[in-house]
Amino acid sequence: MSQLHVHPDGSEDHGHPEHLGHHWNDSVQQFEAGKLGMWLFLATEVLLFGGLFCAYAVWRANHPEIFKYGSQFLSTTWGAINTGVLLTSSLTMAMAVTYAARGRMTAVVVCLLLTLMGAAGFMAIKYVEYSHKFHEGFYPGMSFYEEPHASELWLPLEETAAVVKAATLAGEEAGSVALAAEMKTRAELPTEPAEAQGWNKPAAGIGPAGLTTDQQNIDMAEMSVFLPPSVLGNLEDLDAELAYAEHHAADEPVVLPHPLQDPDRPVNAQKFFTIYFLMTGLHGIHVIGGAVVITWLLILTLRRRFGAKYYTPIDLGGLYWHIVDVIWIFLFPLFYLI
Protein backbone atom coordinates (compact mmCIF):
# COMPACT_ATOMS: atom_id res chain seq x y z
CA MET A 1 0.00 0.00 0.00
CA SER A 2 2.79 2.36 0.89
CA GLN A 3 3.97 2.36 -2.71
CA LEU A 4 1.05 4.62 -3.59
CA HIS A 5 2.42 7.34 -1.32
CA VAL A 6 5.95 7.33 -2.62
CA HIS A 7 7.23 10.12 -4.84
CA PRO A 8 8.58 9.01 -8.22
CA ASP A 9 12.16 9.48 -7.00
CA GLY A 10 11.32 7.00 -4.29
CA SER A 11 13.15 9.04 -1.71
CA GLU A 12 10.45 10.24 0.64
CA ASP A 13 7.24 9.11 2.20
CA HIS A 14 4.47 11.35 3.45
CA GLY A 15 4.20 9.25 6.57
CA HIS A 16 7.83 10.11 7.32
CA PRO A 17 9.65 13.18 8.61
CA GLU A 18 11.47 15.17 5.93
CA HIS A 19 14.86 13.58 6.40
CA LEU A 20 13.73 9.95 6.62
CA GLY A 21 14.23 7.73 3.56
CA HIS A 22 11.17 5.75 2.48
CA HIS A 23 12.79 2.43 3.33
CA TRP A 24 13.46 3.26 6.99
CA ASN A 25 11.18 2.59 9.91
CA ASP A 26 12.39 5.43 12.13
CA SER A 27 15.16 7.98 12.67
CA VAL A 28 17.13 5.75 15.03
CA GLN A 29 17.34 2.94 12.48
CA GLN A 30 18.50 5.38 9.82
CA PHE A 31 21.00 7.02 12.17
CA GLU A 32 22.51 3.72 13.20
CA ALA A 33 22.72 2.53 9.61
CA GLY A 34 24.46 5.73 8.60
CA LYS A 35 26.86 5.32 11.47
CA LEU A 36 27.70 1.73 10.57
CA GLY A 37 28.16 2.73 6.95
CA MET A 38 30.52 5.51 7.94
CA TRP A 39 32.56 3.22 10.14
CA LEU A 40 32.86 0.72 7.30
CA PHE A 41 34.13 3.55 5.12
CA LEU A 42 36.61 4.49 7.83
CA ALA A 43 37.77 0.87 7.86
CA THR A 44 38.50 1.15 4.13
CA GLU A 45 40.43 4.36 4.84
CA VAL A 46 42.49 2.52 7.43
CA LEU A 47 43.35 -0.16 4.89
CA LEU A 48 44.04 2.42 2.20
CA PHE A 49 46.67 4.02 4.42
CA GLY A 50 47.63 0.53 5.54
CA GLY A 51 49.22 -0.01 2.16
CA LEU A 52 51.47 3.02 2.66
CA PHE A 53 52.23 2.06 6.24
CA CYS A 54 53.28 -1.33 4.88
CA ALA A 55 55.63 0.30 2.37
CA TYR A 56 57.01 2.44 5.20
CA ALA A 57 57.49 -0.56 7.49
CA VAL A 58 59.21 -2.65 4.82
CA TRP A 59 61.64 0.09 3.80
CA ARG A 60 62.37 1.22 7.33
CA ALA A 61 62.90 -2.30 8.63
CA ASN A 62 65.33 -3.09 5.84
CA HIS A 63 67.05 0.30 5.59
CA PRO A 64 66.78 2.08 8.95
CA GLU A 65 69.75 4.31 8.16
CA ILE A 66 67.78 5.99 5.36
CA PHE A 67 65.13 7.10 7.83
CA LYS A 68 67.55 8.15 10.54
CA TYR A 69 69.30 10.26 7.95
CA GLY A 70 66.25 11.71 6.23
CA SER A 71 64.27 12.69 9.31
CA GLN A 72 67.06 15.11 10.23
CA PHE A 73 65.78 17.32 7.43
CA LEU A 74 62.29 17.60 8.95
CA SER A 75 61.33 20.20 11.52
CA THR A 76 60.03 18.51 14.67
CA THR A 77 58.68 21.86 15.90
CA TRP A 78 56.40 22.35 12.91
CA GLY A 79 55.28 18.74 13.17
CA ALA A 80 54.42 19.10 16.85
CA ILE A 81 52.54 22.36 16.28
CA ASN A 82 50.56 20.73 13.49
CA THR A 83 49.65 17.84 15.75
CA GLY A 84 48.34 20.31 18.30
CA VAL A 85 46.33 22.16 15.67
CA LEU A 86 44.73 18.96 14.40
CA LEU A 87 43.91 17.69 17.90
CA THR A 88 42.26 20.97 18.81
CA SER A 89 40.20 20.97 15.63
CA SER A 90 39.13 17.45 16.55
CA LEU A 91 37.92 18.80 19.89
CA THR A 92 35.86 21.55 18.26
CA MET A 93 34.37 19.00 15.85
CA ALA A 94 33.35 16.71 18.71
CA MET A 95 31.85 19.72 20.50
CA ALA A 96 29.87 20.55 17.37
CA VAL A 97 28.32 17.09 17.49
CA THR A 98 27.39 17.45 21.16
CA TYR A 99 25.81 20.88 20.63
CA ALA A 100 23.93 19.57 17.61
CA ALA A 101 22.48 16.75 19.69
CA ARG A 102 21.37 19.37 22.21
CA GLY A 103 19.89 21.48 19.44
CA ARG A 104 22.12 24.51 20.08
CA MET A 105 22.72 25.33 16.46
CA THR A 106 24.54 28.65 16.93
CA ALA A 107 27.18 26.87 18.98
CA VAL A 108 27.38 24.26 16.23
CA VAL A 109 28.12 26.95 13.65
CA VAL A 110 30.87 28.43 15.82
CA CYS A 111 32.47 25.03 16.45
CA LEU A 112 32.37 24.12 12.76
CA LEU A 113 34.01 27.44 11.89
CA LEU A 114 36.76 26.77 14.44
CA THR A 115 37.29 23.29 13.01
CA LEU A 116 37.54 24.77 9.54
CA MET A 117 40.16 27.21 10.78
CA GLY A 118 42.07 24.27 12.26
CA ALA A 119 42.08 22.54 8.89
CA ALA A 120 43.24 25.72 7.18
CA GLY A 121 46.01 26.19 9.75
CA PHE A 122 47.21 22.62 9.30
CA MET A 123 47.39 22.99 5.53
CA ALA A 124 49.13 26.36 5.85
CA ILE A 125 51.88 24.85 7.99
CA LYS A 126 52.17 21.90 5.62
CA TYR A 127 52.53 24.39 2.78
CA VAL A 128 55.40 26.10 4.60
CA GLU A 129 57.12 22.76 5.16
CA TYR A 130 56.62 21.50 1.62
CA SER A 131 57.74 24.69 -0.10
CA HIS A 132 60.87 24.70 2.06
CA LYS A 133 61.62 21.12 1.00
CA PHE A 134 60.99 21.80 -2.66
CA HIS A 135 63.18 24.89 -2.44
CA GLU A 136 66.01 22.66 -1.23
CA GLY A 137 65.32 20.23 -4.04
CA PHE A 138 63.86 17.40 -1.99
CA TYR A 139 61.27 16.04 -4.38
CA PRO A 140 59.76 12.60 -4.12
CA GLY A 141 61.39 10.14 -6.46
CA MET A 142 64.82 10.20 -7.95
CA SER A 143 65.68 13.81 -7.30
CA PHE A 144 69.07 12.85 -5.94
CA TYR A 145 70.40 11.34 -9.13
CA GLU A 146 69.49 10.39 -12.68
CA GLU A 147 68.11 6.95 -13.34
CA PRO A 148 71.03 4.53 -13.59
CA HIS A 149 71.46 1.92 -16.28
CA ALA A 150 70.10 -1.13 -14.53
CA SER A 151 71.59 -3.14 -17.35
CA GLU A 152 75.10 -2.59 -16.00
CA LEU A 153 74.20 -5.06 -13.32
CA TRP A 154 77.02 -7.54 -13.65
CA LEU A 155 79.53 -4.75 -14.24
CA PRO A 156 81.01 -4.72 -10.74
CA LEU A 157 81.45 -8.46 -11.04
CA GLU A 158 82.74 -8.39 -14.58
CA GLU A 159 85.77 -6.16 -14.83
CA THR A 160 89.20 -6.55 -13.33
CA ALA A 161 91.74 -3.76 -13.21
CA ALA A 162 93.95 -5.63 -15.66
CA VAL A 163 91.13 -6.17 -18.12
CA VAL A 164 90.08 -2.55 -17.87
CA LYS A 165 93.57 -1.20 -18.62
CA ALA A 166 94.09 -3.63 -21.47
CA ALA A 167 90.68 -2.83 -22.91
CA THR A 168 91.23 0.90 -22.56
CA LEU A 169 94.48 0.61 -24.50
CA ALA A 170 92.84 -1.66 -27.04
CA GLY A 171 90.05 0.87 -27.38
CA GLU A 172 92.44 3.73 -27.99
CA GLU A 173 94.50 1.71 -30.42
CA ALA A 174 91.37 0.85 -32.31
CA GLY A 175 90.82 4.60 -32.47
CA SER A 176 87.54 4.22 -30.63
CA VAL A 177 86.96 7.43 -28.73
CA ALA A 178 83.64 6.13 -27.42
CA LEU A 179 85.11 2.86 -26.23
CA ALA A 180 88.13 4.49 -24.63
CA ALA A 181 85.91 6.86 -22.70
CA GLU A 182 83.71 3.93 -21.82
CA MET A 183 86.65 1.98 -20.46
CA LYS A 184 87.90 4.93 -18.47
CA THR A 185 84.55 5.09 -16.71
CA ARG A 186 84.85 1.43 -15.84
CA ALA A 187 88.39 1.98 -14.61
CA GLU A 188 86.83 4.20 -11.94
CA LEU A 189 84.98 1.20 -10.61
CA PRO A 190 86.41 -0.41 -7.49
CA THR A 191 88.03 -3.55 -8.79
CA GLU A 192 89.97 -6.53 -7.54
CA PRO A 193 92.51 -8.85 -9.10
CA ALA A 194 90.89 -11.72 -10.95
CA GLU A 195 91.92 -14.38 -8.43
CA ALA A 196 90.34 -12.52 -5.52
CA GLN A 197 87.05 -12.37 -7.40
CA GLY A 198 87.40 -16.06 -7.68
CA TRP A 199 85.25 -17.13 -10.58
CA ASN A 200 88.30 -18.69 -12.13
CA LYS A 201 88.58 -20.97 -9.12
CA PRO A 202 86.89 -24.40 -9.14
CA ALA A 203 83.30 -24.45 -7.83
CA ALA A 204 84.28 -26.36 -4.70
CA GLY A 205 86.16 -23.28 -3.52
CA ILE A 206 83.01 -21.19 -3.54
CA GLY A 207 81.99 -22.04 -0.01
CA PRO A 208 78.45 -22.59 1.30
CA ALA A 209 76.51 -22.09 -1.91
CA GLY A 210 72.82 -22.76 -2.02
CA LEU A 211 69.73 -21.09 -0.58
CA THR A 212 69.11 -22.61 2.79
CA THR A 213 65.75 -22.29 4.43
CA ASP A 214 66.99 -19.75 6.91
CA GLN A 215 68.35 -17.18 4.55
CA GLN A 216 70.46 -15.36 7.05
CA ASN A 217 73.62 -17.09 5.89
CA ILE A 218 72.44 -17.21 2.31
CA ASP A 219 74.80 -16.24 -0.41
CA MET A 220 76.83 -13.76 1.61
CA ALA A 221 79.86 -15.94 1.17
CA GLU A 222 78.79 -16.49 -2.40
CA MET A 223 78.37 -12.83 -3.17
CA SER A 224 81.75 -12.11 -1.67
CA VAL A 225 82.88 -14.39 -4.46
CA PHE A 226 81.08 -12.39 -7.10
CA LEU A 227 81.17 -8.89 -5.62
CA PRO A 228 84.16 -6.68 -4.99
CA PRO A 229 84.60 -5.75 -1.30
CA SER A 230 83.81 -2.10 -1.91
CA VAL A 231 80.33 -3.09 -3.00
CA LEU A 232 80.05 -5.59 -0.20
CA GLY A 233 80.92 -2.73 2.12
CA ASN A 234 77.55 -1.22 1.34
CA LEU A 235 75.66 -4.26 2.56
CA GLU A 236 73.04 -3.26 5.09
CA ASP A 237 74.08 -4.47 8.50
CA LEU A 238 72.62 -3.12 11.68
CA ASP A 239 75.80 -2.44 13.59
CA ALA A 240 77.24 -0.55 10.67
CA GLU A 241 74.08 1.54 10.55
CA LEU A 242 74.10 2.26 14.25
CA ALA A 243 77.76 3.14 14.14
CA TYR A 244 77.09 5.37 11.15
CA ALA A 245 74.10 7.01 12.81
CA GLU A 246 76.03 7.43 16.02
CA HIS A 247 78.86 9.17 14.23
CA HIS A 248 76.25 11.45 12.72
CA ALA A 249 74.46 12.11 15.97
CA ALA A 250 77.69 12.71 17.83
CA ASP A 251 78.79 15.64 15.69
CA GLU A 252 75.42 16.67 14.33
CA PRO A 253 76.21 19.68 12.16
CA VAL A 254 74.24 22.86 12.69
CA VAL A 255 73.47 22.96 9.00
CA LEU A 256 73.27 19.51 7.44
CA PRO A 257 75.09 19.24 4.13
CA HIS A 258 72.67 18.92 1.25
CA PRO A 259 72.38 15.22 0.37
CA LEU A 260 73.72 15.93 -3.11
CA GLN A 261 76.87 17.36 -1.52
CA ASP A 262 77.12 14.63 1.11
CA PRO A 263 79.17 11.59 0.10
CA ASP A 264 78.26 9.90 3.39
CA ARG A 265 74.57 9.88 2.67
CA PRO A 266 73.16 6.35 2.89
CA VAL A 267 72.28 4.35 -0.20
CA ASN A 268 68.89 5.32 -1.66
CA ALA A 269 68.56 8.22 0.78
CA GLN A 270 65.89 9.74 -1.45
CA LYS A 271 63.48 6.97 -0.45
CA PHE A 272 62.74 8.70 2.85
CA PHE A 273 61.37 11.76 1.08
CA THR A 274 59.47 9.61 -1.39
CA ILE A 275 57.56 7.93 1.42
CA TYR A 276 57.30 11.17 3.41
CA PHE A 277 55.64 13.00 0.54
CA LEU A 278 53.43 10.04 -0.35
CA MET A 279 52.01 9.57 3.14
CA THR A 280 51.72 13.20 4.22
CA GLY A 281 50.45 14.05 0.74
CA LEU A 282 47.66 11.49 0.86
CA HIS A 283 46.85 12.66 4.38
CA GLY A 284 46.80 16.26 3.17
CA ILE A 285 44.30 15.33 0.48
CA HIS A 286 42.12 13.81 3.18
CA VAL A 287 42.38 17.01 5.24
CA ILE A 288 41.19 19.03 2.27
CA GLY A 289 38.38 16.54 1.71
CA GLY A 290 37.42 16.91 5.37
CA ALA A 291 37.44 20.69 5.04
CA VAL A 292 35.05 20.47 2.10
CA VAL A 293 32.72 18.22 4.07
CA ILE A 294 32.76 20.59 7.06
CA THR A 295 32.00 23.57 4.83
CA TRP A 296 29.05 21.67 3.42
CA LEU A 297 27.84 20.85 6.94
CA LEU A 298 28.22 24.52 7.85
CA ILE A 299 26.03 25.59 4.95
CA LEU A 300 23.34 23.02 5.78
CA THR A 301 23.40 24.07 9.43
CA LEU A 302 22.93 27.71 8.46
CA ARG A 303 20.01 26.58 6.31
CA ARG A 304 18.40 25.11 9.42
CA ARG A 305 18.50 21.60 8.04
CA PHE A 306 19.64 20.04 11.31
CA GLY A 307 18.23 19.86 14.79
CA ALA A 308 18.35 17.71 17.92
CA LYS A 309 16.18 15.14 16.11
CA TYR A 310 18.33 14.95 12.99
CA TYR A 311 22.03 15.72 12.91
CA THR A 312 23.35 12.50 11.39
CA PRO A 313 25.52 14.23 8.73
CA ILE A 314 27.30 16.28 11.41
CA ASP A 315 27.98 13.14 13.44
CA LEU A 316 29.31 11.27 10.41
CA GLY A 317 31.38 14.21 9.19
CA GLY A 318 32.86 14.31 12.67
CA LEU A 319 33.82 10.65 12.50
CA TYR A 320 35.63 11.28 9.21
CA TRP A 321 37.47 14.27 10.66
CA HIS A 322 38.59 12.24 13.66
CA ILE A 323 40.03 9.44 11.52
CA VAL A 324 42.07 12.04 9.62
CA ASP A 325 43.34 13.13 13.05
CA VAL A 326 44.08 9.54 14.11
CA ILE A 327 46.16 8.90 10.99
CA TRP A 328 48.22 12.02 11.64
CA ILE A 329 48.75 10.86 15.23
CA PHE A 330 50.71 7.97 13.70
CA LEU A 331 52.40 9.89 10.88
CA PHE A 332 53.91 12.46 13.24
CA PRO A 333 56.20 10.16 15.25
CA LEU A 334 56.95 7.96 12.24
CA PHE A 335 58.51 10.81 10.28
CA TYR A 336 59.43 13.60 12.70
CA LEU A 337 60.50 11.71 15.80
CA ILE A 338 63.13 9.29 14.52
Partner 1 sequence: MSIVGLLATAKIGEATSGGTFWMPENASTAAQGVDDVFYFINNINYFFFALLVLILVWFAVRYRSKPSEHTTFTNDAPVHNTPLELTWTIVPLLIVGVLFWIGMDGYLHLVDAPDDSYPVRVTGQKWSWTFEHPEYGVTEAAELTVPLNRPVRLLMTSPDVLHSLFIPAFRVKQDLVPGRYTSLWFEATKPGQYRLYCTEYCGKDHSKMLAVVTVLPEDEFQNRLGKLAREYEDLDDKDLPAYALNRLYNRCASCHSLDGKSGTGPSFKGLWDRTQKGSTVFTNGKTLKGMMGPGGEFEVPENYIRDSILNPQHLIVQNYTGAMPTFKGQLKQRQIDAMVLMLKNLDSLVDENGNPIEAPKVDEVEVSTGADQ
Partner 2 sequence: MTVEGDDSMTTTESRPLDAPALEVDNYLTYTRGIRSWILTLDHKRIGVMYLISVLACFLLGGIFALLVRTQLVVPDGLIMSQDEYNQAFTIHGGVMVFLVIIPGIPAALGNFILPIMLGAKDVAFPRLNLFSYWLWVLGAIFLVSAIFGGLDTGWTFYTPYSIDQNSAMGGVIPAVTGAFLLGFASIFTGMNFIVTIHRLRPDGMTWFRMPLFLWSLYATAVIQVLATPVLGITLALLAVERAFGIGIFNPALGGDPVLYQHFFWFYSHPAVYIMVLPAMGVVSELIAVHSHRHIFGYAYIAWSSVAIAIFSFLVWGHHMFTSGQSPLMSVIFSFITFSVAIPSGIKVFNWLATMYKGAISWNTSMFYGMGFIVLFIIGGLTGLYLGVISVDVHLHDTYFIVAHFHYTMMGSSLIGFIGGLHHWWPKITGKMFNENAGRIAFMLFFVGYNMTFFTQFMLGSHGMPRRYATYPADAGFQTYHIISTIGSYIMAIGFFTMAGYFIASLFVGRKAAANPWGGRSLEWQCTSPPPHDNFSEQPAVGDCYDFSVLRWDDETNGYVWREDVAHPGHESEHTASS
Partner 3 sequence: MSSHEHEHGAVGHIVPIKLLVITCIALLILTAVTVWVAKLDFEDLRMGEMNILVAMGVAVVKCTIVALIFMHLRWDRSFIGFVFIGSILFVGLFIGLALLDTKEYQPTMVPGNSPQVQLKLDALHAAQAAGETKHGPTEH
Contact residues: partner 1, CB under 8 A: 149-155, 157-159, 167, 170-171, 174-179, 182, 199-204, 206-213, 219, 222-223, 226
Interface map 265-304 toward partner 3 (x if CB under 8 A) = --xx------------------------------------
CB closer to partner 3, 32 vs 195: 32
Helices (H), 63-160: 64-70, 76-101, 105-136, 155-158
Say if residue 158 is exposed, middle or buried (CB neighbours under 10 Å; 0-12, 13-18, 19+): middle
- List the one residue from 80, 87, 142, 249 that touches partner 2 (CB under 8 A): 142
Cα–Cα nearest to 35, from 318, 256, 264: 318
Other residues' Cβ atoms within 10 Å of the Cβ of residue 222? 15
Q: Which of these segments, 4-12, 126-134, 166-174, 260-268, binds partner 3 (CB under 8 A)?
A: 260-268
Nearer Cβ to partner 1 (91/179) = 179
* Given 61, 178, 211, 255, the residue binding partner 2 (CB under 8 A): 211
Q: Which residues pair with 310 in a beta bridge?
A: 307
Chain positions 50 to 89 lying near partner 2, rule: CB under 8 A, are: 50-52, 54-55, 58-59
Listed residue (229, 268, 321, 17) closest to 144, CA to CA:
268
Q: Any contact of residue 35 with partner 3 (CB under 8 A)? A: yes
Q: Residue 210's binding partner, choosing from partner 3, partner 2, partner 1, none, with beta-carbon cut-off 5 to 8 A by kind?
A: partner 1
Torsion from C-alpha of 130, 41, 21, 300, nearest 10 degrees: -20
Q: Is residue 43 close enough to count as binding partner 2 by CB under 8 A?
A: yes
Q: Which residues, 6 or more positions from 14, have their beta carbon under 8 angstroms from its beta carbon?
A: 5
